[in-house]
Structure 1
Amino acid sequence: MAMSDTPGRRILLGRVIGAFGVKGDVKLESWTEPRAAIFRYQPWILRTPQGAERELRGVRGRDTGKHVVAQIPDIDDRDTVEAMRGTEIYVPREALPPPKPGEYYWVDLEGLRVLNLEGVDLGTVSHLFSTGANDVLVTRDDERERMIPFVTPQYVHGIDFDAGVVTVDWDPEF
């Protein structure tokens, strides 16, 4: 199936980690909670490690306890699946349910301006990542990149989507 023009942002939900059995079932790493929720969000946009993309609908699957296993339409042999190893699974942001009041998806923060309590512009949100101990907000401007612990209210004081601003307690020189 050809890749359609998908407007808006994409959310990375998982990736192909290998074959499951000999009939073309696909073993996935899923970052949804619960893991099998990855099948609720479609269409999938598959992006190979080489950068090729295609849109996919009708994926079914299950959580076996040890793995998340998918049946992808038109794939019925192990060799085809092994060639997909490392393929990332994205969905359009619009495929996800709206967040509950006071909640948001990380991708919704990307592109927001980051200002400290004194109003100093620290750039825009590039991305966020988890360290295990806490999440980290990464900002970029023309001169540098900053990594700010995403800890509320100690460092992150507020998010104003209407103004497009994240307010942080952070030294601009750090």
Structure 2
Amino acid sequence: MTQNGAGENGSERRVLLGHIAGAHGIKGAVLVRSYTAEPEAIADYGPLEAEDGAAHFDLTVEGATAKGLICRVAGVADRNAAERLKGTALYVARAKLPEPDEGEYYHTDLIGLSAVTEDGARLGLVTSVLNYGAGDILEVRPEGATRTVLYPMTEAVVRRVDLARSVIVLAPPDEVDAGDQAAAAAEDGE
């Protein structure tokens, strides 16, 4: 899956392709963390946009290190200018990306989908897709709730994704409260 995007409707949605991690050397190069399947492909999508859409960055990949890609940004000629770009998120319009393979989705395509159970009960809206290293997690906000519910993005939980109807069908897993189980076991042992 690809990282979260921004925007309100499908035509304006953007996908996060990388971040500028900092300056590299003294001649204006930057170090870029690329989130594309092939890291060097980040430069293939044309000018990338900052998160707010106000600035555009035309990248040229010059090399790679263990920390990321060494890139040139058009118009950046010295280390000071490169350092000012540190932390900049690099986005591209969703429409510029290839269609994902069957069963794969860009995070931005899932955000805003109505989450329902197989029998049609409404669970809420997908507000984000998280990943802390163990796999993607859907964050769903039930209608009128202040707290969100997290669902693992596994085949057992995600039954169908219907982008045309803006619906994702989930089979919520049975909840287990380990604290209650531990308390019950402690009472039984006394």
Q: TM-score range by the shorter chain?
A: 0.7 to 0.9
Which position in structure 2 is the counterpart of 1:134? Answer: 135
The match for 1:9 is 13
Which residue in 1 is equivalent to 2:161?
159
Q: Does 1:20 align with 2:21?
A: no
Q: What's the % identity of the aligned pairs?
A: 31
Cα-Cα RMSD = 2.1
Cα deviation digits, residues 98-137 of structure 1 (max 9, x gap): 2234432121111110001232211111110112222100
Cross-structure match for 2:187? none
CA contact under 8 A between 2:157 and 2:173: conserved in structure 1? no
Q: Which runs of 5+ in 1 are unaligned?
A: 1-6
Greater CA radius of gyration, 1 or 2? 2
* TM-score, reference length from structure 2: 0.78
In structure 2, the residue matched to 1:3 is none
The number of equivalent residue pairs is: 163
| CA shift digits 1:140-163 (9 cap, x unpaired) | 2321311111111x1111111222
How far off is 1:171 after superposition?
A: 6.5
Structure 1 residues 16 and 166 mapped into 2: Cα distance closer, same or farther (>3 Å)?
same
Tell me the equivalent position of 2:40: 36
The answer on whether the counterparts of 2:14 and 2:94 sit within 8 Å (CA) in structure 1 is yes
Asked if the contact 1:116–1:171 (Cα under 8 Å) also holds between the matched residues in 2, the reply is no
Residues 88 and 124 (structure 1), Cα distance of their counterparts in 2 relative to 1, 3 Å cut: same
Rounded to whole Å, the distance in 2 between the matches of 1:70 and 1:164 is 38
Give, in whole Å, the separation in 1 of the partners of 2:125 and 2:174.
Answer: 13
Maintained 8 Å contact 1:135/1:149: yes
Greater helix share, structure number: 2
2:108 alignment partner, SS class: helix
Deviation at 1:64, TM superposition (A): 1.8
Aligned pair in 2 of structure 1 residues 171, 104: CA closer, same or farther (>3 Å)? closer
Check whether the contact 1:116–1:122 (CA below 8 A) recurs between aligned residues.
Answer: yes
**Contact 2:24–2:70 (Cα < 8 Å) also in 1:** yes
Q: Which runs of no fewer than 5 residues in structure 2 stay unpaired?
A: 1-10, 177-190
Measure, in 2, the Cα distance between the counterparts of 1:70 and 1:18: 11
TM-score (norm 1): 0.84
Contact residue 14 and residue 31 of structure 1 kept, 8 A: yes
Q: Does residue 114 of structure 2 align to residue 113 of structure 1?
A: yes
Give the AA of the match of 2:54.
Answer: E
Contact 1:42–1:95 (Cα < 8 Å) also in 2: no
User: What residue is the counterpart of 2:4 in the other structure?
Assistant: none
1:43-58 counterparts in 2 under 5 A?
43-47=47-51, 53-57=54-58
